[in-house]
Chain A
Amino acid sequence: MRKLHGTIRKWFLFAAAMLLALTGCGRKIEKEPITLSVWHVYGQYTDSPLNTLIEEFNETVGWKEGIKIQVTAVSNTSNIHDDVLRAAQGEPGAATLPDLFISYPKTVMAMPDPEILVNYRDYFSDEELSDFVPEFLEEGYVEDRLVVFPIAKSTEIMFVDKTLFDRFAAAAGVRLEDLTTWQGLFDVSRDYYEWTDAQTPDVENDGKAFFVHDYWFNYFQVGVESLGENFFNGEDFVFGNAFEKAYDQLANAAITGGIWMKEGFATEPLRTGDAVVSVGSSASVLYYEDRVTYEDNRSEAIEMIAMPVPHFDGGEKMVMLRGAGFCTVKSTPEREKAAMIFLKWLTDAENNVRFVTETGYMPVTKKAFELLPDAMEKLENPKYRSLYKAYVETQEQYHFHTAPKLVTYLEKESSFETSIRALFKDALKQRQEGEDPEKLKAEVYDNLKDKAMR
């Protein structure tokens, strides 16, 4: 009997050895990566700095941890807002939500179920979060859940094509200092239109715009608040004295023709030499090229500088705080953990400073802010050096304004923007046809108010 058991044991050992040999289980099987899809806004069509950093992450930490970040779209927050909502609502033909996407809290608030997003408090300890600038974190809370994770913050900055400005300044005697107040900027805008119009006396009304703003909605919002009044009353606008003052100063220049009111981003007319000064996100520094291309295909190297945004005489120096954050869509614990590893890597002080100084943003952690001055010293591109100098001045002298978290915010912003541009474009045309500027000013105001109230 014992002999028989011995035989069986030998058979089993032989079979096990055969299995091991034939299936080759001694060889190591390498793990394939967890691939996370990303929609972001850093660089859009350009050679995106975030994409470069993502490549670095994939090559280093990602390779080690088995995580691959795959960028599937680089766009802007407005487009991502639309596509996230389409995807979240399961609209036919809409894309699937990516694992990570950049968004403002207002997008999250408009989602049918914000619960599909990860609450970062589940993955970050209090100690880890304590290193972030509290205001930046605070902005990412929606219904007491931290769903928008800050990786970079921006503010509005004024960009000046100094080459064109100097040419005009030499002829008209204007100075950069004139651009520190809105009134000064609008006055220069009117002068510039008249000066450019006068370059070709045989062609009437061919003057050029001097100034373009990315979001006139922000101009009014921050302007009204800086003049001590509320811009919003609940979900409605307040058309008070402050609004009228901001409107009055803008309208004088816009109806003359000194302000660019066509659709598109503020960077566009500066790249074609159709405007000289813009106010937009500091991050738009990526989209300003060091050349201007004119309509006859001549191109010219330019010097682009950055300055803090103008303020109103008698008003507080105030500027809009911008910069969306990353939202993570809930999936499996492994995928969510992988997303957190990436976000922790990206907000690590050194990486964060590298990232923001390449994209024109402010870092989000206290440690990264400590490293920022050194990083600024090392910047080689004068456009970026100028930008960070303007950043420092803004931080020292300005109060940051954060947009309210209103469900209808984006709708209001978009509708206001479209209306004001269309009304001023039409008014300019009428003024060029001989209509009274004061009458046009009043009409535009009434129409704007009427549309906004609707």
Chain B
Amino acid sequence: MRTFRDLYNKIMGSRCQNVSLRRRMIRYLLGMLLLAVGVLILILAGCGLILNAEDRMAEALQSQLESVSAKLEDEVEDLEGYALNLARQLSRSMEYQMEHGDFSAAEFNDSAEKLLELQRAFYGDLNATLLMSGSSGAFAVTDATVNTGLEESSHSRSGLYLRANNIGRSVRIVPDPVLFRGSAEIAREKGLELHSRWNLEFDVNLLPEWGKMMGQDGNVAGEILWTEKMRLRDTWEDVLLLCTPIKGSMGNAYGICGLELSELFFREKYPAQESDFGTMITLIATLEDEELHVERGMLGDAEGTWLEGMETLSRKAGKKFQTFTSGRGDFLGVMKDINLPVADGKRWVAAILVPQNSGISYIRKSRWMLMAAAVFFSALMLIMVAHASKRFVRPILQVLDDIKGKRQGDEATGRPIAELEELKSFLTSRRENQKLEQLPENIEEMLREFKRRVETLTPTERTLLNYYTEDLSLEEIAEKMFISIGTAKKHNTNLNRKLDISSRSQLMVYVELFKRCDRLDDIKKQTTT
């Protein structure tokens, strides 16, 4: 408590002390400097040169892209692994059946019984692959048809196609297969629902990779190929198919098999990510002539955007991210090449997009906030500078008023400024000296008479007078003279009587007169000699 009081007294005491004009000037300049910094921040933020929201957004998009690409690559690799393994299993099943039945692959043609038996053998492998691979469907097509006599037999091929029925609802746990292609007998035996657009056989004309895989155009069978997005006939679902040949032990192709990745499933696997700058959506697409063909690839969950997955987006490269435009809205995004083996060698990319509107809105909002803070800071500094300048000028004006005599002595406000006080005192004393040089005669007589009286004082009384001229109090004088206060009072009484004055203030008037006339030594000299 005491410490606090001491501190308070010190502060309050300091207020009564003179303040240097230089300190005020430094305060003012500091305020100006901070104001300049505020304005600079405002301009730099406005131009996007500091604390840039675009950089933050680009970093977040890039990070999401890296994460999604890594996931995609892993999944593609897994699916390709499952497809190759499936092809090996199916090839073994076919060769086992041919060996035990002692017939060739061509003899599957026109034999409903052999093809049904083959489908029974295929079912286990396809179902297991569907369950484990994380795909939305698994299929196998053999190079045989149940009826070569039919007109469409040139492109109708027997096989089995299982699709997950519960995509979009609960496929993440266990796919619930339905029979899309294959003998209805298999569905009945295995308790499967028949797809409402079921067909007995595949139409390989709708499977562009069939010819390549079967080596019909001279290519070597054995590659993994992904199709572009295709609509499953008579349904509302779009899929990518991963195809691989069912190669026999002699290197020949018995047919093809593979896995299906439906867009609905892709949507479930790659949900839209909410972020400060809008919904981040994932897609894979082909990039051709600065156009992103989403209609050939897959679109993740596009919640919060108007994208449907059938668009072609025009790409415009940018510094930090690219702009993609379509009739369904404009987007900001980043993209990266992905390795997806396709028949036509097109460039595939994975991309992360955010709606341009929300992206720009985020950038603007960030700038707004930064600039609002800078404006607030600058405004504060401006007020401070205005206040400082006012405080800087006010005492000068006051001193001028004092000098001009426009102001009463008790009107003074604020702390006195050392330099100004000195100036004021200098100017005042000069004026007083000028006045004293022309003192009237009776004053001169008064001073002479006082001087004469001083000469009548005892040495002790002269010492007392000397201390009075130094503006010491009676208690201080008693202490300095090593006498009691009572003795000091006694000497004071004698002093007053001898000098013919009644109070100390009267004495001080004389002292001030001698001082102003620059003749203090006249009475001081007397006391010291």
Question: Which listed residue, B46, B153, B234, B355, touches A22 by the CB 8 Å rule?
Answer: B46
Q: B277 to nearest A CB, angstroms?
A: 12
Given A48-B236, A297-B200, the answer on whether A72 and B267 have CB atoms closer than 8 Å is yes
- CB neighbors of A among B4-49 (8 A): 42-43, 45-47
Asked if A19 and B46 make an inter-chain contact with CB atoms under 8 angstroms apart, the answer reads: yes
- What is the distance, in angstroms, from B332's C-beta to the closest C-beta of chain A? 13
Contacts of B305 in A (CB 8 A): 32-33, 35, 68
A407 within 8 A of B: no
- Which B334-391 residues sit within 8 Å CB-CB of chain A? 355, 357-358, 360-361, 364, 367-368, 371-372, 375, 378-379, 382-383, 386, 390
Does any Cβ of A come within 8 Å of B185's Cβ?
A: yes
Q: A23-B371, A271-B194 are in contact. Are A73 and B303 (CB under 8 A)?
A: no
Q: Flag the segment in A37-45, A118-126, A243-251, A337-345 that touches B.
A: A37-45
In the complex where A297-B145, A297-B201 touch, is A32 in contact with B355 (Cβ < 8 A)? yes
**Assembled-state Cα–Cα distance A24/B198 (Å):** 56
CA A51 to CA B145, docked complex, whole Å: 35
A276 to chain B, nearest CB (A): 16
Among B146, B150, B153, B196, the residue within 8 A (CB) of A267 is: B196
* B480: interface (CB < 8 Å): no
Q: Nearest Cβ in chain B — how far from A271, in angstroms?
A: 7
A93 in contact (CB, < 8 A): yes
Query: Are A295 and B183 CB-contacts (below 8 A) given A15-B42, A68-B306, A264-B194?
Result: yes
What residues of chain A lie closer than 8 Å to B358, measured between beta carbons?
A: 32
Q: Report B-chain residues with C-beta under 8 Å of the C-beta of A75.
A: 165-166, 169
Cβ of B250 within 8 Å of any chain A Cβ, yes or no, is no
Inter-subunit contact A83/B170 (CB<8 Å):
yes
| B236 lies within 8 A of A262 (CB) | no
CB-CB < 8 A to B167: which residues of A? 73
Stretch at the interface among A4-12, A161-169, A183-191, A350-358: A4-12
Flag if A295 contacts B382 (CB, 8 Å).
no
Give the Cβ gap from B192 to chain A, nearest Cβ, in Å. 8
> How many inter-chain contacts with C-beta < 8 Å in the A-B complex?
163
**Complex-state Cα separation, A22 to B369, whole angstroms:** 12
Tell me the count of chain B residues lying within 8 A, CB to CB, of chain A. Answer: 70
Instruction: Report if B414 contacts A (CB, 8 A).
Output: no
In the complex, what distance in Å separates the CA atom of A83 from the CA atom of B264? 16
What does the 1/0 interface line of B194-237 toward A look like (CB < 8 Å)?
11111111000000000000000000000000000000001111
Is A18 positioned at the interface, with any CB of B under 8 Å from its CB? Answer: yes
Assuming the A-B contacts A29-B360, A297-B145, are A93 and B172 also in contact, with contact meaning beta carbons closer than 8 angstroms in the complex? yes
Which residue from chain B places its CB closest to the CB of A22 in the assembled complex?
B46
A228-B150 Cα distance, complex, nearest whole Å: 54
Q: Which of B112, B168, B172, B304 has the most CB of A within 10 A?
A: B168
Given A32-B305, A79-B169, A262-B188, residue A23 in contact with residue B364 (CB < 8 A)? yes
B157 to chain A: closest CB distance in Å?
A: 10
B236 contacts which of A51, A68, A79 (Cβ < 8 Å)?
A51
Q: Is there an interface contact between B166 and A79, defined as CB atoms closer than 8 Å?
A: yes
Cross-chain contact B156 with A8 (CB below 8 angstroms): no
Q: A22-B47, A264-B187 are in contact. Are A94 and B170 (CB under 8 A)?
A: yes
CB distance from B377 to the nearest CB of A (A): 11
Asked whether any CB of chain B lies closer than 8 Å to the CB of A265, the reply is yes
The docked-state distance in angstroms from the alpha carbon of A268 to that of B358 is: 49
Partner of A23, one of B193, B329, B367: B367
Given contacts A262-B188, A297-B146, contact A19 B375 (CB under 8 A): yes
Say yes or no for A263: interface residue by CB 8 A criterion. yes
Given contacts A18-B46, A22-B47, A271-B194, contact A295 B185 (CB under 8 A): yes
Q: A18-B42, A29-B361, A72-B264 are in contact. Are A47 and B169 (CB under 8 A)?
A: no
A61 within 8 A of B: no
| Cross-chain contact A295 with B361 (CB below 8 angstroms) | no
A27 to B146, CA, bound (A): 65
Which chain B residues border A296 with CB–CB below 8 Å? 112, 146-147
In this assembly, does B127 line the interface, its C-beta being within 8 Å of a C-beta of chain A? no
| Distance of A271 Cα from B430 Cα, bound (Å) | 125
B236 touches A43 (CB 8 A): yes
Q: Is A170 an interface residue (CB 8 A)?
A: no
Q: Name 16 A/B residue pairs within 8 A (Cβ), A-sorted.
A: A8-B379, A11-B378, A18-B42, A18-B43, A32-B304, A45-B196, A72-B268, A75-B166, A79-B176, A95-B168, A263-B191, A264-B193, A264-B194, A295-B112, A297-B201, A298-B147
Extra 5 A-B pairs, beta carbons < 8 Å, given A23-B368, A263-B191: A11-B379, A45-B235, A46-B235, A47-B234, A297-B201
* B interface, CB within 8 angstroms of A: 42-43, 45-47, 112, 145-147, 150, 153, 156, 165-170, 172-173, 176, 178, 183-185, 187-188, 191, 193-201, 234-237, 264, 267-268, 278-279, 302-306, 308, 329, 355, 357-358, 360-361, 364, 367-368, 371-372, 375, 378-379, 382-383, 386, 390
